[in-house]
Amino acid sequence: MIIAIDGPAGSGKSTVAKLVAQKLGFAYLDTGAMYRAVAWRALERDVALDDEAELTSIASSEPISFGYLPGEPLPSKVFINSQDVSKEIRLPQTDKAVSPVSAVLGVREALVAQQQRIGVLQDTVMEGRDIGTAVFPNAELKIYLTASPEVRAARRLEQNLRRFGKDAPNMNREEILAEIIRRDTYDSEREHSPLVAADDALTLDTSAMGINEVVDWIAAHATA
Ligand code: DC
């Protein structure tokens, strides 16, 4: 069974998807991390973000894999071609580069193929932007999570603090909000597989909901 969780940045997808996977004993795949890994590689190599051929070549020739931190039930380490890029993919420069990189058709085709290969192996909670529309259009359960931009910016700020501690790269709520709005607009307006709820997705606005409430709601639909 595939549970597809799509939605904009900061909608709570990652936290919720991980907890749902744990609760149901499913595997978990963060597809955004894959686009981020390609974007980071492009930045590292000074590849222009409109060089479609080179970006496609990175996505199709450098495999992305995931790993576990000691004691973790779900994978959170991200590797591209065996190089650990777990921290780098969360830096503000990667946030900025990832939308144009993920708009490239060749990049999407290469990563979607990897995601489909991973998803057929076992029951999986897969989170992203196009899981219910393009990666697994026949997913048994499709959830579209959303929340107000202000709530999403506050969540992203907390997440940065948790991830980076005192070295958190961006602590300014206004800047985070502007970045989130910029990225959502780009992701929603791109030509290939834009961010949009699938017709048969259940949409949930999580602005005023607690994490556990959202997780229980999704788990109840999965087991109904
Ligand atoms: O979920 P995230 O913020 O880590 O995703 C980073 C970017 O990757 C997002 O701005 C758009 C892109 N993305 C995508 O196009 N398709 C996906 N399935 C997942 C992410």
Residues (pLDDT < 50) of the chain are none
Number of H helices, E strands in the chain: 8, 8
pLDDT for 57 equals 98
pLDDT for 118 equals 95
pLDDT for 162 equals 83
Whether this model's pTM surpasses 0.85: yes
Residues with CB under 6 A from ligand 1: 9, 31-32, 35-36, 98-99, 102, 128-131, 183, 187
Residue minimizing CA distance to atom 2 of ligand 1: 32
pLDDT for 163 equals 79
pLDDT for 160 equals 81
Name the residue type at position 140: E
- Give dist(CA 77, CA 195) in Å, integer: 25
Of 23, 15, 163, 27, give the one whose Cα is nearest residue 94: 163
- Give dist(CA 10, CA 56) in Å, integer: 27
Pocket test for ligand 1, best of 43, 88, 102, 146 (most atoms within 8 A of CB): 102
Give 42 Cα–ligand 1 centroid separation in angstroms. Answer: 16
pLDDT for 84 equals 98
- Give dist(CA 99, CA 111) in Å, integer: 14
Tokens (6 digits) for 121 = 């192996």
pLDDT for 170 equals 67
Give 25 Cα–ligand 1 centroid separation in angstroms. Answer: 24
β-bridge partners, 99: none
The DSSP code for 135 is I
Give the model confidence (pLDDT) of 21-33 as tens digits.
999 999 999 999 9
pLDDT for 172 equals 82
